Amino acid sequence: MTTPAANRPHWAWLAAALAWVFPGCGHLYLGRRKTAAAYSLIVTATFLLGLSFEGRLYSPEPGQPLTWLATFTLCGAGLLNIGARALSESPSGTILAATYDYGCTYLLSAGLMNLLLMLDAYDIATGRKA
């Protein structure tokens, strides 16, 4: 069943940009409410769990090329990343915490998931994916 939103033409770049802003927004714009809600729940939960496990919100460091990749990955999480950096008391995580490595993994995975959602929203809007 198609919703009225599913019948209107979409700007592919807008769908991708909205997907970056908050997980699921791109799919919501494309009229896929249920999948948008599911994506939003999964990616947000992954990101918040990463913060709760005291993972690190990476920033670029000279001489540490992998921190640039990690920063790019985290930037994929859009407003979640920006909000977490603004509100977090310890953006660099707690390296001595037992869950630190898990936290980093959860945070990076949330960023990667949202980057994939951006590509997915773009592909749906351009008709490459049904």
Residues that bind other proteins (CB under 8 A): 35, 38-39, 42-43, 45-46, 48-49, 51-54, 98-99, 102, 105-106, 109, 113, 116-117, 120, 130
| Of 59 and 109, CB closest to other proteins | 109
Closest distance of CB 63 from other proteins, Å: 25
Position 4: which residue type?
A: P
CB-based burial label for 105 (10 Å; 0-12, 13-18, 19+): middle
CA distance 110 to 42: 9
Q: How far is CA 33 from CA 37, 109, 119, in A?
A: 6, 23, 17
Cβ closer to other proteins: 25 or 43?
43
Choice between 33 and 68, CB closer to other proteins: 33
